[in-house]
């Protein structure tokens, strides 16, 4: 059974109870909070492995809570999963760019909630990656040192920027990267990288990868991620 400690922040009692009930069944240690101010006090007083944070809170909203947590050296390393109502895409993007690790839309499936929490906690335990280490995922072999990609042994020719985008996504399967995060991480010599050009790069990358292009998933209104399982 899981032993990680999770702070759940939501001012809706029924949502708070739904989240608490489903995570309690998985064996997580849980602390609940109904406001941003109280959440900040608890997050700074106790050591949590993950925080589930509603965006629409009375007083200090979820985005401001996330900003304060990421600005604090004692709490910036704690993963944050945001809870948001459907259609709150600008807030989702803002939250991810503040450093949130994932988001869950309301209404949500309890099974998806548990799966997302597990995924974020699993990623937290990963050691920092070596930017020159070869990546082997699904049928793809990616070698940063040689700047080569092959699928089932067949070489795939990519531009500098396409290779950078693929490497970024493949190193962290399941992670959602906003377009701005991709722009910040990719510095192409052969293509000016902007928010809009990221979409162009993804289209070209999927085309060159052929059937393996399906591993790059679009997260509507947010950005892209590399699928964790084939």
For residue 131, what pLDDT is reported?
A: 59
Fold match between 5-124 and 135-226?
no
pLDDT interval class at 164 (50, 70, 90)? confident
For residue 228, what pLDDT is reported?
A: 82
DSSP state of 225: E
For residue 86, what pLDDT is reported?
A: 62
pLDDT interval class at 189 (50, 70, 90)? very low
Average pLDDT score over the chain = 85
23 vs 95 pLDDT, higher one? 23
| CATH, range 135-226 | 1.10.10.10
The answer to whether 50 touches 4, Cβ cutoff 8 Å, is yes
105-153: per-residue pLDDT in tens?
888 899 989 988 988 887 766 545 555 678 899 899 999 878 899 999 8
197-214: per-residue pLDDT in tens?
788 889 999 999 999 999
CA atoms within 13 A on the CB side of 191: 21
For residue 191, what pLDDT is reported?
A: 47
- Choices 3.10.20.340, 3.40.1190.20, 3.40.50.2300, 3.40.50.300: CATH for 5-124: 3.40.50.2300
Structure tokens at 84: 């948001």
How many whole angstroms from its chain centre is CA 197? 21
107 prior amide bond cis, ω within 30: yes
For residue 188, what pLDDT is reported?
A: 47
The model's pTM is 0.62
Structure tokens at 25: 């069944």
Distance CA 175, CA 147 (A): 22
Distance CA 107, CA 105 (A): 6
DSSP state of 206: H
| 187: pLDDT strictly greater than 70 | no
CA angle 30, 32, 38 (to 5 degrees): 135
96-116: per-residue pLDDT in tens?
778 788 888 888 899 989 988
Q: Where are the domains of the chain?
A: 5-124, 135-226
pLDDT interval class at 38 (50, 70, 90)? very high
Please report which residue ranges of 57-193 form alpha helices under DSSP H: 62-71, 89-98, 110-124, 160-171, 179-185
Query: CA separation (Å) from 157 to 87, 146, 203?
Result: 38, 12, 15
For residue 175, what pLDDT is reported?
A: 84
| Burial label, 187 (beta-carbon count in 10 A; 0-12, 13-18, 19+) | exposed
For residue 100, what pLDDT is reported?
A: 84
Q: Give φ, ψ of 209 to 5 degrees.
A: -75, -15
Q: Can you spell out the DSSP letters for 20-38?
A: HHHHHHTT-EEEEESSHHH
- Backbone CA torsion sign across 36, 40, 41, 43: positive
| Burial label, 229 (beta-carbon count in 10 A; 0-12, 13-18, 19+) | exposed
Neighbouring CB atoms inside 10 A of 114's CB total 17
């Amino acid at each position: 059974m899981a032993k990680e400690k999770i702070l759940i922040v939501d001012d809706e009692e029924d949502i708070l109870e739904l989240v608490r009930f489903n995570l309690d069944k998985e064996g997580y240690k849980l602390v609940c909070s109904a406001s941003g101010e109280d959440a900040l006090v608890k997050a700074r007083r106790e050591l949590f492995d993950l925080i589930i944070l509603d965006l629409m809170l009375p007083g200090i909203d979820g985005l401001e809570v996330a900003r304060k947590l990421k600005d604090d050296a004692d709490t910036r390393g704690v993963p944050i999963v945001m809870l948001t109502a459907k259609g709150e895409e600008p807030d989702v993007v803002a939250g991810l760019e503040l450093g949130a690790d994932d988001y869950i839309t309301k209404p949500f499936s309890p099974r998806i909630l548990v799966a997302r929490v597990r995924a974020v906690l699993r990623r937290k335990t990963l050691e920092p990656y070596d930017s020159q280490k070869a990546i082997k995922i699904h049928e793809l072999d990616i070698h940063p040192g040689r700047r080569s990609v092959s699928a089932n042994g067949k070489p795939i020719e990519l531009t500098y920027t396409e290779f950078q985008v693929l490497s970024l996504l493949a190193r962290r399967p399941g992670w959602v990267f906003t377009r701005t995060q991709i722009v910040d991480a990719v510095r192409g010599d052969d293509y000016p990288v902007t928010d809009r050009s990221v979409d162009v790069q993804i289209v070209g990358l999927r085309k060159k990868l052929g059937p393996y292009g399906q591993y790059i998933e679009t997260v509507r209104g947010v950005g892209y991620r590399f699928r964790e399982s084939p």
